[in-house]
Amino acid sequence: MSIQAVFAERVKKLVQEDPSVTGLAVAGSWITDEIDEYSDLDLILVTKYKIAGNKEKMMETARRFGDLVSGFTGEHVGEPRVLICLYDNPLLHVDIKFLTPDEFKDRIENPVILFERDGQLSKIIHATTATWPQPDYQWIEDRFWTWVHYAALKIGRGELMEAFDFLSFLRTTVLSPLLQVKNNRHARGLRKVETELNASDLENLKITIAQYNRESILKALDNTISIYRNLRRKLYDDKVLLQIRAEQLSMDYLKQVARK
């Protein structure tokens, strides 16, 4: 049995004895049976009364589950209801999402139920639909060319480290999600692109990775733009308003920077 499964079984036994717990489920790679030695564990703890928002209660609950080394809430990934935990004996990364039954209705995937009281989680799953968030094409198009201008500014000023880092932001926020949609995968940043994208698309991502020098960063930015334009042609319909003026002005500026 994997260390993740052993930990989950221990948590299951503990929460079964707590009448305030409605159910326990597990998400992520557990759903697709892709747990390996490097996997974290994504637990969903559903309770009658709200715990999320109270850091002390979240930590107190997490301490019951094992040798908690560290725990912090997930505002940086847009999910303050998650407590990101590091446990020891064995060393394991565990994310615990604290939800009420009403909050459990709104989900991006159907988790595996480990324990539920009176079938409450199953009833919610059968009565509602999980929806994985897709990239908002208009949101991306409205921002992309201003982001290109920003990257050009940084290159022009010689702030190469920031420009270098910004290319990663564009890969994570724009290119990778669009490539995942193109490959009929869930859009989730750079997760598992090495195995889930086709070889050609993975090579396209690779040519947006720069070395730390001006010429390489300019080339990687130019590749990023070309790949975005190609994806835009393939994925966007005529409902997406293209920011033609912003595109032209940003590209003119980038050319000025490149000539200097």
Q: What pLDDT, on the 0 to 100 scale, is given for residue 213?
A: 97
The pairing of strands 92-99 and 112-116 is unpaired
Asked if 117 contacts 22 with a C-beta cutoff of 8 angstroms, the reply is yes
Q: What pLDDT, on the 0 to 100 scale, is given for residue 34?
A: 82
From CA 32, how far away is CA 190, in angstroms rounded? 18
What is the DSSP track for 13-52?
HHHHT-TTEEEEEEEGGGTTT---TT--EEEEEEESS--T
From CA 108, how far away is CA 28, in angstroms rounded? 10
Which residues of the chain form CATH 1.20.120.330? 137-259
Q: What pLDDT, on the 0 to 100 scale, is given for residue 245?
A: 98
Q: What pLDDT, on the 0 to 100 scale, is given for residue 96?
A: 98
Q: How far apart are the first and last CA of the chain?
A: 60
Q: What pLDDT, on the 0 to 100 scale, is given for residue 220?
A: 98
Match domain 137-259 to its CATH number in 3.20.20.70, 1.20.120.330, 3.30.160.270, 3.40.50.2300: 1.20.120.330
User: pLDDT, tens digit, for every residue of 1-24?
Assistant: 899 999 999 999 999 999 999 999
84: phi then psi, degrees, rounded to nearest 5: -90, 120
Which residues of the chain form CATH 3.30.460.10? 3-127
Q: How many residues in total does the chain contain? A: 260
Which residues in the chain show pLDDT less than 50?
none
Superfamily (CATH) of domain 3-127: Beta Polymerase, domain 2 (3.30.460.10)
Q: What pLDDT, on the 0 to 100 scale, is given for residue 188?
A: 77
What is the DSSP track for 85-151?
EEEETTTEEEEEEEE-HHHHTS-SS-PEEEEESTTHHHHHHHHS---PPPP-HHHHHHHHHHHHHHH
**How many Cα atoms occupy the beta-carbon half-sphere of 85 within 13 Å?**
29
Tokens linked to 188:
């989730």
Tokens linked to 162:
């920031």
